[in-house]
């Protein structure tokens, strides 16, 4: 018998992160590979004849033709289990904290072993019994990974059968077998507290639900004017310096999701540093513990390999789906998808593919659609309800919203929070342009707001938006003629819009009270302002100069209410409404005299 030939593929072409290897007979599409003696992690992204095209997720400096390629017989995956929360990973889920312990402050190339710690011990409490038939996604048990947080251990989506053995409650590591499941065909599968899942394949669920519960962010311009639901999609486009990262940080701090996943995709390292410094010092308003404990950070900064930037958002969304399958609400912040698209463009250029608009690949739109499609509120395989909300920023060059990434993203999201660089330059935050922004979820969340805040919420919101739009039209006249040339009714619109913009939409992230506004506080603030605007109509109809109403003492109370009240008690706002009526009625009475 002849000796078996060595058919290990070897590199024949190297261009940045792109490596071509031959022969390709032992490799499969989307298979994870390791390149060279340093075992650089890569993925097969194309097969052409006897040549495999590989995308390497690490720096390829020093590689040369002839370097061996080792197929792993599995797609690019993430490890899902206890140990994810409070951790920081790179774009391919390498734990950066452990890398620092082993290698120091600078990341080296090469495989480092397991993504999740095998030394950590967790107390496992079983929820299933021996002899029980379990479906995919069923809950085997739970681990109290953090105080008050139950991390459910799930049956992997591709496993079904009867539990033959189940460990008792006790302390175990991730490598310990906690259950053995036998399929109907007699195949036995050992289950551990973690499992692996390919990042490019969405995790299955039972049913997609129609979302009606808003994702409360504590930012008034978002929650009231342009709301997003749990399981919704939103994008934040804005030029350099418009405040995208600041808003992402605010959302990560205050959003009422159970789990926060923050992806720094191609952003500057100092921005991720501020996250790492700020989050451990912040107290979670829900648990009164450090906010970092329920946050997962994925850092793929601009100085890291560009191809790993492309994989980072898939790593993040797969982890988000895992917690969704446990019945949690997850908010994923991707900052920014423009840098991810630039990575696609660079790799596409090295593959010598035909470019589309502005050099981006022709499949940019389909990749964006596939990413945002993985958001949603679902009924999981185990019958729980969970959601993944996606909020991605876009950094259009020069603030041009007509560039491809922004235009394609707008097609696939329901919320647009457009940032205005002029507002940011005027120190107006959040610098969201209320004329360019929109939300497709306003009608869906109306019932929740009317039940939780007030029955006239939709009416107040719509009237406020009408005033803001009318004010925008009048500003063109003001620039030409001045505000004094306008009739009293139009001046009422301008004064009303000024109150809405300065006392409602604008927030101070550094003020301990104003940095976050509950749903109740938002409703009562808007109700106070809209009541004053309505009473101004009585003033103008009596031909009283409008400046007299704007000099009433209650105006100071309206200006200060966002700093003075948390919204837990509506009485202070009701008292302001009473004083508005009292003082304007007094003004009208003096006019009659």
Helix boundaries (H) for 351-456 = 364-373, 404-412, 421-425, 442-452
Distance of CA 453 to the CA centre of its chain: 25
Compute the distance between CA of residue 513 and CA of residue 511 in angstroms, rounded to an integer: 6
Where does 23-127 show beta strands of DSSP type E?
Answer: 31-35, 40-48, 51-56, 69-75, 77-80, 88-89, 122-126
C-alpha to C-alpha distances, 434 to 252, 294, 431, 441, 466, nearest whole angstrom? 22, 32, 9, 16, 11
To the nearest whole percent, how much of the chain has pLDDT over 70? 98
| Residue-wise pLDDT tens digits, 555-589 | 999 999 999 999 889 999 999 999 999 999 999 99
> How confident is the model at residue 577, as a pLDDT?
97
CA distances from 545 to 3, 408, 541 (A): 102, 49, 10
All structural domains of the chain, each given as residue ranges with its CATH number in brackets, are 10-75 (2.40.30.20), 117-193 (2.40.50.100), 207-441 (3.40.50.300), 457-592 (1.10.1140.10)
Contact 90, 96 (CB under 8 A): yes
Q: What is the pLDDT of the chain when averaged over all its residues? A: 91
pLDDT at 240: 80
pLDDT at 427: 84
* Predicted model pTM: 0.93
Give the pLDDT band (50/70/90) at residue 6: low
pLDDT of residue 304 exceeding 70: yes
pLDDT at 132 over 60: yes
Find tokens 């003020």 and name the residue: 511
The pLDDT of residue 2 is above 60: no
Reported confidence tier of residue 593, pLDDT bands at 50, 70, 90 = low
At 4 the pLDDT is 46
Residue 31's nearest CA partner among 191, 198, 154 is 198
CB 316 within 8 Å of CB 331? no
Q: What is the pLDDT of residues 174-231, one digit of tens each?
A: 999 999 999 999 999 999 999 999 999 999 999 999 999 999 999 999 999 999 999 9
**What was the pLDDT predicted at 287?**
72
pLDDT for 292 beyond 80: yes
Distance between CA atoms of residues 136 and 142, nearest Å? 16
What digits encode the pLDDT tens for the residues 84-113? 998 999 888 999 888 888 887 777 887 677
Note the helical H segments in 180-225: 220
Task: Give the count of beta carbons closer than 10 Å to the beta carbon of residue 341.
Answer: 28
Q: Which residues pair with residue 77 across a beta bridge?
A: 198
CA separation (Å) from 85 to 150, 289, 295, 296, 592? Answer: 12, 13, 6, 6, 67
- The C-alpha torsion from 436 through 440 and 442 to 444, rounded to 10°, is -170
Half-sphere exposure of 316 toward its Cβ, with a 13 Å CA cutoff?
39
Lowest mean pLDDT across 54-63, 90-99, 127-136, 320-329: 90-99
What's the rounded mean pLDDT across residues 459-466? 97
Q: Which of 15, 348, 409, 394 is nearest to 238 (CA)?
A: 394
């Amino acid at each position: 018998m002849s000796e078996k030939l060595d058919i290990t593929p070897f590199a024949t072409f190297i261009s940045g992160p792109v490596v071509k290897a031959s022969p390709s007979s032992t490799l499969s599409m989307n298979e994870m590979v390791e390149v060279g003696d340093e075992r650089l992690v890569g993925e097969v992204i194309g097969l052409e004849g006897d040549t495999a095209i590989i995308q390497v997720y690490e720096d390829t400096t020093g590689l040369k033709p002839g370097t061996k390629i080792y197929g792993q017989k599995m797609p690019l995956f993430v490890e899902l289990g206890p140990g994810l929360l409070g951790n920081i990973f790179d774009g391919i889920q390498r734990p950066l904290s452990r890398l620092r312990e082993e290698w120091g402050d600078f990341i080296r190339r090469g495989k480092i072993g397991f993504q999740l710690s095998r030394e950590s011990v967790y107390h496992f409490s079983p929820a299933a019994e021996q002899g029980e038939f379990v479906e995919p996604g069923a809950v085997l048990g739970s681990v109290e990974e953090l105080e008050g947080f139950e991390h459910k251990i799930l049956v992997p989506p591709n496993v079904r059968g009867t539990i033959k053995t189940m460990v008792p409650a006790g302390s175990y590591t991730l490598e310990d077998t906690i259950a053995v499941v036998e399929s109907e065909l007699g195949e036995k599968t050992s289950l551990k507290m973690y499992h692996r899942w390919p990042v490019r394949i969405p995790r299955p669920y039972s049913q997609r639900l129609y979302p009606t519960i808003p994702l409360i962010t504590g930012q008034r311009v978002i929650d009231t004017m342009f709301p997003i639901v749990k399981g919704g999609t939103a994008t934040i486009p804005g030029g350099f310096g418009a405040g995208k990262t600041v808003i992402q940080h605010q959302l990560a701090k205050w959003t009422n999701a159970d789990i926060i996943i923050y992806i720094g995709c191609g952003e500057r390292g100092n921005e991720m540093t501020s996250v790492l410094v700020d989050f451990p010092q912040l107290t979670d308003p829900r648990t009164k513990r450090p906010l970092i404990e329920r946050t997962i950070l994925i850092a793929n900064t601009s100085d890291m390999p560009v191809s790993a930037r492309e994989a980072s958002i898939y790593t993040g969304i797969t982890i988000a789906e895992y917690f969704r399958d446990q019945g949690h609400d997850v908010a994923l912040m991707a900052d920014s998808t423009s840098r991810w698209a630039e990575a696609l463009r660079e790799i596409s250029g090295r593959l010598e593919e035909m470019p589309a608009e502005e050099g981006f690949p022709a499949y940019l739109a389909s990749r964006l659609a596939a990413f945002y499609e993985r958001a949603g509120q679902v009924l999981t395989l185990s019958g729980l309800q969970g959601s993944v909300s996606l909020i991605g920023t876009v950094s259009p060059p020069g603030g041009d919203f007509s560039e491809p990434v922004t235009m394609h993203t707008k097609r696939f999201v329901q919320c647009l929070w457009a940032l205005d660089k002029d507002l940011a330059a005027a120190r107006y935050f959040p610098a969201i342009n209320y004329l360019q922004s929109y939300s497709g979820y306003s009608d869906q969340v109306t019932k929740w707001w009317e039940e939780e805040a007030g029955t006239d919420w939709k009416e107040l919101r719509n009237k406020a938006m009408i005033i803001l739009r009318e004010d925008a039209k009048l500003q063109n006249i003001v620039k030409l003629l001045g505000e004094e040339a306008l009739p009293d009714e139009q001046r009422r619109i301008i004064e009303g819009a000024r109150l809405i913009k300065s006392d409602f939409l604008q927030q101070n992230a550094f003020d301990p009270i104003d940095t976050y506004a509950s749903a109740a506080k938002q409703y009562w603030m808007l109700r106070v302002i809209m009541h004053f605007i309505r009473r101004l109509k009585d003033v103008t109809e009596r031909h009283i100069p409008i400046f007299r109403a704007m000099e009433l003492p209650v105006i100071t109370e309206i200006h200060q209410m966002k700093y003075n009240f948390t919204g837990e008690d509506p009485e202070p706002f009701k008292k302001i409404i009473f004083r508005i009526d009292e003082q304007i009625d007094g003004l009208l009475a003096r006019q009659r005299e």
